[in-house]
Chain A
Amino acid sequence: MISIENLSKSFRHHEVLDNISLKQDKAEVIVVIGPSGCGKTTLLRCLNQLETFDEGKVTIGDITICARHGHLSRADRDKQLVLRSRVGMVFQSFNLFPHMTAVENIIEAPVTVKEMSQAMAVKRALDLLNKVGLEDKADFYPSQLSGGQQQRVAIARALAMEPEVMLFDEPTSALDPELKEDVLRVMRALANEGMTMLVVTHEMSFARDMADRMVFMEKGRILEEGPADVMFRSPKHERTREFLKTILPKKSFKAGNGKPGDSRQATFEDLLSGGDG
Chain B
Amino acid sequence: MALSFLPAGVSADDTPCATIQEVEARGVLRWGADAEGGAPYVFPDPRNPKRYIGFEVDIARALAGRLGVRPQMVQNSWDGLVSALDRGSFDIVLNGLEITPEHLGQIAMSRPYYAYTQQIVVRKGDGSMRRVEDLKGLRVGVLSASVAQRILEGMGGVDVRVYPGNVETCRDLKNKRIDASLMDLPIALHYAKPDPALDFAGKPFAVGYYGVGVRKKDTKLLEAVDRAIAALLASGELKRIYLKWGLWDADQERRLRRYSPVEPPKEGNVSTLREWRTFLPLLLEGAVVTVEISFLSMALAIALGLALALAKLFGVTPVRWASTAYIEVFRGTPLLIQLYMIYYGLPNLGIRLSSFEAAVMGLGLNYAAYEAENYRAGIQAIPEGQMEAALSLGMTRWQALRRVVLPQAVRIVIPPISNDFIALFKDSSLVSVITMVELTKVYGMLATTTYDYMGLGLMTAAIYLALSYPASLAAKFIERKLRYDFD
Give complex CA distance A183, B38 in Å. Answer: 80
Interface centre among A86, A95, A113 (most CB of B within 10 A): A95
Q: Is A184 an interface residue (CB 8 A)?
A: no
- Known: A50-B388, A97-B386, A142-B486. Is A113-B407 also a contact (CB below 8 A)? no
Chain A nearest Cβ from B353, distance in angstroms: 40
Interface residues on chain B, size class? 20 to 34
Chain A nearest Cβ from B484, distance in angstroms: 10
Give complex CA distance A86, B394 in Å. Answer: 8
Chain A nearest Cβ from B413, distance in angstroms: 14
A50 x B392 contact (CB < 8 A): yes
Q: Is B385 an interface residue (CB 8 A)?
A: yes
Interface centre among A84, A96, A142, A143 (most CB of B within 10 A): A84
Give complex CA distance A109, B399 in Å. Answer: 9
Chain B contact surface mostly: helix
B403 partner, pick from A84, A98, A112, beta carbons under 8 A: A112
Q: Is A158 an interface residue (CB 8 A)?
A: yes
Q: Is B450 an interface residue (CB 8 A)?
A: no
Q: Is B2 an interface residue (CB 8 A)?
A: no
Q: How many residues of chain A get a CB closer than 8 Å to chain B's CBs?
A: 28
Contacts of B394 in A (CB 8 A): 81-82, 84-86, 109, 113, 161
- Known: A99-B486, A141-B486. Is A84-B392 also a contact (CB below 8 A)? yes
B396 partner, pick from A81, A141, A143, A154, beta carbons under 8 A: A81
Chain B nearest Cβ from A244, distance in angstroms: 30
B399 x A113 contact (CB < 8 A): yes
A161 x B485 contact (CB < 8 A): no
Q: Chain A residue with minimal CB distance to B407?
A: A99
Within 8 A of B (CB), among A11-25: none
Within 8 A of B (CB), among A58-112: 81-82, 84-89, 91, 93, 95-99, 108-109, 112
- Known: A142-B486, A143-B486, A143-B487. Is A95-B386 also a contact (CB below 8 A)? yes
Q: Is B8 an interface residue (CB 8 A)?
A: no
Kindly supply a per-residue 1/0 record for chain B positions 463-487, scoring 1 wherever the CB is within 8 Å of any chain A CB and 0 otherwise. 0000000000000000000000111
A98 x B393 contact (CB < 8 A): no
- Known: A113-B394, A113-B395, A113-B399. Is A95-B385 also a contact (CB below 8 A)? yes
Contacts of A86 in B (CB 8 A): 394
Give complex CA distance A141, B404 in Å. Answer: 14
Q: Is B324 an interface residue (CB 8 A)?
A: no
A95 x B485 contact (CB < 8 A): no
- Known: A95-B386, A108-B403, A112-B403. Is A161-B393 also a contact (CB below 8 A)? yes
Give complex CA distance A206, B426 in Å. Answer: 64
Q: Is A152 an interface residue (CB 8 A)?
A: no
Chain B nearest Cβ from A102, distance in angstroms: 12
Q: Is A48 an interface residue (CB 8 A)?
A: yes
Q: Is A202 an interface residue (CB 8 A)?
A: no
B399 x A50 contact (CB < 8 A): no
Q: Is A157 an interface residue (CB 8 A)?
A: yes
Contacts of A154 in B (CB 8 A): 389
Chain A nearest Cβ from B412, distance in angstroms: 11
Give complex CA distance A112, B401 in Å. Answer: 12
Chain B nearest Cβ from A266, distance in angstroms: 40
Give complex CA distance A87, B403 in Å. Answer: 20
- Known: A112-B395, A157-B393. Is A97-B404 also a contact (CB below 8 A)? yes
Interface centre among A85, A87, A97, A113 (most CB of B within 10 A): A97
Chain B nearest Cβ from A71, distance in angstroms: 16
Chain B nearest Cβ from A231, distance in angstroms: 29
Contacts of B383 in A (CB 8 A): 95
A95 x B389 contact (CB < 8 A): yes
- Known: A97-B404, A99-B408, A112-B395. Is A91-B389 also a contact (CB below 8 A)? yes
Contacts of B392 in A (CB 8 A): 48, 50, 84, 87-89, 158
Contacts of B391 in A (CB 8 A): 50, 84
Contacts of B411 in A (CB 8 A): 99
Contacts of A112 in B (CB 8 A): 395, 399, 403
Give complex CA distance A52, B128 in Å. Answer: 73
Chain A nearest Cβ from B47, distance in angstroms: 61
B389 x A84 contact (CB < 8 A): no
Contacts A87-B392, A97-B404 supplied; 6 other A-B pairs, CB < 8 Å: A91-B389, A93-B385, A98-B408, A99-B407, A108-B390, A157-B393
A-B CB proximity, top 7 nearest: A85-B394, A95-B389, A109-B393, A89-B392, A95-B385, A141-B486, A113-B394
